[in-house]
Amino acid sequence: MAGPARLRCIIRRLYHAAPWGPGGKRDPMSQTPQTTPTAPGPVDPHPLDCDEATFHLIPRLVAEHGEVVRVAAPNLDRPTWVIADPADIRRVLVSNHRNYVKGVGFERVEMLLGNGIIVSDGAFWRRQRTMIQPAFSRGNMPRFFDMVREVTLRLKEEWLAAAREGGEIDITRATSDYALEIILRLIFSDDLEFFVDQEGINPFLFLTEDPSRDLRVAMKFRQLLKQVRVLIERRRETGERPFDLLSMMMDARASRTEEAMSDKELVDEVATLIIAGHETSAGTLNWAWTLLSGDEDSARALREESRRVCPDGELTYEHLEELVFTRQVLDETLRLYPPVWLFTRRAVEADELGGHAIEAGDNVFLSPWLTQRLERLWPEPDAFRPERFAPGRDEAREDQAFFPFSAGPRRCIGEFFSYVEMRTHLALLAPVFRLRLVPGQDIALEPAINLRTKHNLRMTVEALQP
Ligand code: HEM
């Protein structure tokens, strides 16, 4: 046998004999590998990661093996279960969530986010989450809405200028810059200017210019966060507490000890909120405009709703709840293109999912991308149909058939705010503009940490008569 072929054969034999391979768990008393009878899955190994190969692989695995699949991934130290059934997702995220901690991949995110609440687990996570949660209370939303409206009205002026020139916009860049400014103002309010003053421009802009989240970007980001420490120090010295997340986190106290967050903890949580709150909303709005560009009926219905709810264009916070179809458009967008398309957990102790035995230490992969396109749950799953989310329709839907924000105690902390942001965006812009994709563009997907378009998309912008 030739060298590489022989090597492949040896690797294959070793893999098949491994305790996590298709030979199943070894009985310590026996030399014969025992196949776990309840382990559906491919015989061949498949590397699994937050990447394009996995993105295309998991729907295929589920179609071939069912909604609980056991995969031996040579890049992971333990067997991995890909689960798609909402009942199992509910068990992992909600009813038995104590048995599942954050899984593979999060250690990489740690370079970027430190030990912020996306990454942390256990008592430390609980403490941090309890300290941050009140900042996202409903009571704070009207004031955050004022900021969002201001940023959106500025974008409207930019698009009006683009329309006058008969021009095009880069919608991917526009929604990314927009969501970045909003998350930065949510955290720093007008002290965003503090950073701009240091550098001459908004130094966080590289996060939209360079969508990769590799080591280089992580280092640049962490470097920039040193300025956040300077700002924290300045606020402490002056006693200034503008209305924003940073002030609220600085003043938060742990319930039993009355301790405040250390500077390092504050900086990690700031980093977490920037990254978690930016690309997710940006990606959703990018996709919403893209889907609307191909569906004139939905675009018209959206426009008419905004004009009906808010005829003079003076949008208030109270109007948002009335924007029912707008919410449906956003939910259908999140169903088709969930920004967080994959999340991972690790079983602490043995459990059972879909009648299959999971062992302590096994990896579990959950994917809104996968479940939210299952035909048995979503007929014609690839079609954009906002009416799926019409009032009353969710009663017939299984919980966790739709879970773009996760579920249970680790559910997204920014969910409510993100709807405030995204509804305001569509309510103020959809009645004024018709955006159409410039034909001939490649609308490929790039599934990395977030699911985004591989290329920036260009759109023609036309200002509509009221
Ligand atoms: C369309 C918008 C958004 C989507 C789809 C989304 C989705 C998610 C998902 C799926 C998780 C759970 C991940 C996991 O458990 O592995 C999560 C967690 C989180 N999100 Fe969001 N998110 C969005 C917007 C935001 C915004 C605007 C913020 C901040 C203002 C935010 C902050 C966070 C934080 C801090 C966590 C960690 C929560 C914890 O573990 O306790 N997200 N998000």
Residue pLDDT, tens place only, 231-265: 999 999 999 999 999 999 999 999 889 999 999 99
The beta strand positions in 41-86, using DSSP E, are: 68-71, 80-83
Considering the entire predicted model, what is its pTM? 0.91
Instruction: Say if residue 422's pLDDT is above 60.
Output: yes
Q: Predicted confidence band at 338 (pLDDT cuts at 50, 70, 90)? A: very high
Give the chain's end-to-end CA distance (angstroms, integer): 75
% pLDDT > 70, the chain: 91
Distance 210 CA to ligand 1 centre (A): 21
- Find the residues whose C-beta lies inside 6 A of ligand 1: 117-118, 129, 183, 272-273, 276-277, 280-281, 284, 334, 339-340, 343, 404-406, 410, 412-414, 417-418
Q: How far apart are the C-alpha atoms of 455 and 444, rounded to whole Å?
A: 7
pLDDT of residue 31: 34
Q: What would the pLDDT profile of 259-302 be if each residue is shown by its tens digit?
A: 999 999 999 999 999 999 999 999 999 999 999 999 999 999 99
Is a pLDDT exceeding 60 seen at residue 37? no
Residue 1, SS3 per DSSP: coil
Beta bridge partners of 435: 461
Q: In sequence order, which residues have a C-beta less than 8 Å from that of residue 446 and are 6 or more positions away?
A: 52, 452, 453, 454
Q: Look over the chain and give the mean of its residue pLDDT values, rounded to a whole number.
A: 89
Q: Is the pLDDT of residue 10 over 70?
A: no
Rounded Cα gap, residues 387 and 298, in angstroms: 9
Statement: residue 9 has pLDDT above 80: no
pLDDT above 90: residue 318: yes
**Among protein residues, the one whose CA lies closest to atom 6 of ligand 1:** 405
Q: Where would I find the H helices in 321-413?
A: 324-336, 368-371
Please, are residues 251 and 232 in contact by the beta-carbon 8 Å criterion? no
Neighbours of 207 (CB within 10 A): 24
The residues with which 81 forms a beta bridge, in sequence order, are 70, 364
Structure tokens at 71: 């995969």
pLDDT on residue 466 = 65
- Ligand 1 atom nearest to 129, measured from its CA: 41
Check: CB of residue 431 under 8 Å from CB of residue 407: no
Q: What is the pLDDT of residue 38?
A: 56
pLDDT surpasses 60 at 8: no
- Going by their DSSP bridges, the two strands 363-366 and 80-83 should be labelled as parallel
Q: Give the mutation target among 120, 280, 366 for probing the ligand 1 site: most ligand atoms within 8 A of CB.
A: 280
DSSP string, 360-374: TT-EEEE-HHHHTT-
Quote the CA–CA distance of 408 and 296 in Å, as a whole number: 36
pLDDT class of 12 with cuts at 50, 70, 90: very low
- Written as six digits, the tokens of 312 are 């003079």
Pairing label, strands 445-447, 451-453: antiparallel
Do residues 68 and 353 lie in contact, with contact meaning Cβ atoms separated by under 8 Å? yes
Task: Return the ligand 1 atom nearest residue 339 CA.
Answer: 5
Integer Cα distance of 390 and 274 in angstroms: 32
Say if residue 20's pLDDT is above 50.
no
Cβ neighbours around 162 below 10 Å, total: 19
pLDDT tens digits for 176-199?
999 999 999 999 999 998 888 877
pLDDT tens-digit readout, 55-110: 999 999 999 999 999 999 999 999 999 999 999 999 999 999 999 999 988 777 88
Query: In angstroms, rounded to a whole number, what is the distance separating the alpha carbons of residues 363 and 346?
Result: 5
Kind and range of the H or E element at 346?
Answer: strand 343-347
Residue found by looking up tokens 């899955």 in the block: 41
pLDDT at 34: 38
Domain spans, the chain: 47-73+93-463
pLDDT at 444 over 50: yes
Give me the residues paired with residue 343 across strands. 366
Residue reference for tokens 């990018």: 286
Nearest CA to ligand 1 atom 15: 410
At 38, which amino acid appears? T
Closest protein CA for atom 18 of ligand 1? 412
Question: 29 pLDDT exceeds 50?
Answer: no
- 372 pLDDT exceeds 70? yes
Q: Which CATH class is domain 47-73+93-463?
A: mainly alpha
